[in-house]
Amino acid sequence: MFRWTLITLLSIAVIGVSVWGYQEHQEKNAILIQAENSYQRSFHDLTYNLDLLHDKIGSTLAMNTREQLSPQLAEIWRLTSMAHNDVGQLPLTLLPFNKTEEFLQLMGDFSYRTAVRDLDKEPLSDDELDALESLYEASGDIEQELRKVQSMVLNDNLRWMDVQLALVNNDEQADNTIIDGFETVEKTVEGYSEGKLNASMMGTSSKKDGFSILGDKKISEEEAKKKMRSLLRIDEETELTVAPTGKGANVPLFSGSYKQDETSGYIDVTQNGGYPITLMINREVKESNKSLHEAMQNGKDYLSKLDFTTDLALVESNQYDNVGVFQFVPQYEDVWIYPDAIQIKVALDNGEVLGFVAKDYLENYHEREISEAELSEEEARDKVNPNLKIQEHHLAVIEDDMGEEVLTYVFLGTLNQDTYKIFINASDGSEVRVDKLKQAEMKY
């Protein structure tokens, strides 16, 4: 009797478990298929967009009328951005696929720049036509390689989920067809981007060498430590860990950090010249006793005691809970130098400085010869949209789309409830940039 009950119970249990297991399995499969499908969609979209891209570039080459050219280039720009988006949805992050992505971006930049340009006044130069031709060639090769991968995927029912697994278990990488295919694409692109493409397409390289203020004089780790202690406001007793940066850093730095009770600090000092570049002190700030205005004064005093320009203009001030964050830019004879911005954070409980970033300042600072504005303020004002009510203005140096520094008139104006910042080129009166300034956001 007992035996039979046991057997029945056990068999019921076994059946129950298998039904449950089967259902789980079904569910897992359904989810896997769904994930797989979304990968497949991105992949096939990618190949389709690259196909289209290749064709569009081809037809651009054959075009003669300018009225057609601009929309066509805009279309290319849209397609590169879509292709880029598709790449972002595939599990390729650990696969060296950067060159292809960079290439897409390059293509996008090029087509955007030429599309927005007035091609009647400034038609495509020979260099640009050459660039377009090599783009055509390159996109053709990419298209073909991807087509190969695609047909393999379709014929052999290859799954992207396997790519993901292969990438996780590094060793299997060698025999995954999709991965191999993408590596071939990458190599194809590499061949192009090292060639003439880069120089003619990027126009002027936007970043000058930068960090010219730092000079050649290296400081020792001991000197750096001393500087860090004074900036972090800690004494000799507190333990400070300092380490130099590795090869990848664009500027060699010493980084120091400490932790004591509830307060921790972090600081970067340049090895050349010993300038502080980032300071962060983290502690709980529970209340605000000081006004934002007082905090701003504190921040300004603090910066003027460091090795930075003393004449600073306030661009932005914001209170986040109990800290104030300010952005300053240097001022030379009433011209605000936007590229050399410094951010500073001040605690509102005791007004002490909790951090600053001088990276932009150190990177962009150089002796500038600021030419006289060719337009008068009145003339520049006429270039602003007449619907805007201009409230404030000043002269400023900013970087334009190409990364070149230009002298501009900055107008702060209002249109209905919104405030805008408009930058008008002081020599030719063109609108360099229009920013809508952010309003406070409602709490949800």
Closer by beta carbon to another protein, 125 or else 414: 414
3 state DSSP class of 41:
helix
| Rounded-to-integer distance, Cα 384 and Cα 412, Å | 10
Token couple for 314 = 């306030």
Q: What is the residue whose two structure tokens read 């050399």?
A: 340
3 state DSSP class of 230:
helix
Least Cβ distance, residue 254 to another protein (angstroms)? 10
Q: Residue 140: how many CA atoms within 13 Å on its side-chain side?
A: 10
Q: What is the residue whose two structure tokens read 């019921």?
A: 12
- Rounded to whole angstroms, what are the CA distances from 371 to 197, 340, 404? 35, 18, 15
Closer by beta carbon to another protein, 22 or else 320: 320
Least Cβ distance, residue 77 to another protein (angstroms)? 13
Closer by beta carbon to another protein, 105 or else 151: 105
Least Cβ distance, residue 38 to another protein (angstroms)? 9
- Rounded to whole angstroms, what are the CA distances from 98 to 53, 105, 161, 238? 19, 10, 21, 43
| Rounded-to-integer distance, Cα 242 and Cα 258, Å | 9
Which residues sit opposite 342 in a β-bridge?
A: 328
**In this structure, what are the phi and psi dihedrals at residue 311, rounded to the nearest 5 degrees?**
-85, 100
DSSP 212: G
| Rounded-to-integer distance, Cα 272 and Cα 70, Å | 47
Closer by beta carbon to another protein, 53 or else 373: 53
- For residue 114, the surrounding DSSP H or E stretch is helix 98-116
| Rounded-to-integer distance, Cα 50 and Cα 39, Å | 17
Least Cβ distance, residue 135 to another protein (angstroms)? 16
Q: What is the residue whose two structure tokens read 């598709």?
A: 86
Least Cβ distance, residue 320 to another protein (angstroms)? 6
Least Cβ distance, residue 316 to another protein (angstroms)? 7
| Rounded-to-integer distance, Cα 69 and Cα 72, Å | 5
Closer by beta carbon to another protein, 272 or else 278: 278
Least Cβ distance, residue 418 to another protein (angstroms)? 8
Chain-centroid distance, C-alpha 431: 24
DSSP 220: P
Q: Provide the residue type at 95 as one letter.
A: L
Least Cβ distance, residue 139 to another protein (angstroms)? 17
Selection from 171, 79, 74, 56 nearest residue 113 by Cα: 74
Closer by beta carbon to another protein, 402 or else 437: 437
Least Cβ distance, residue 436 to another protein (angstroms)? 9
Least Cβ distance, residue 146 to another protein (angstroms)? 17
Closer by beta carbon to another protein, 265 or else 373: 265
Selection from 362, 428, 423, 432 nearest residue 396 by Cα: 423
Closer by beta carbon to another protein, 101 or else 141: 101
3 state DSSP class of 42:
helix
Least Cβ distance, residue 437 to another protein (angstroms)? 6
β pairing state of 335-337 and 389-399: parallel
Closer by beta carbon to another protein, 418 or else 428: 418
Beta strands in 167-252 (DSSP E): 241-244
Closer by beta carbon to another protein, 258 or else 409: 258
Closer by beta carbon to another protein, 88 or else 215: 88
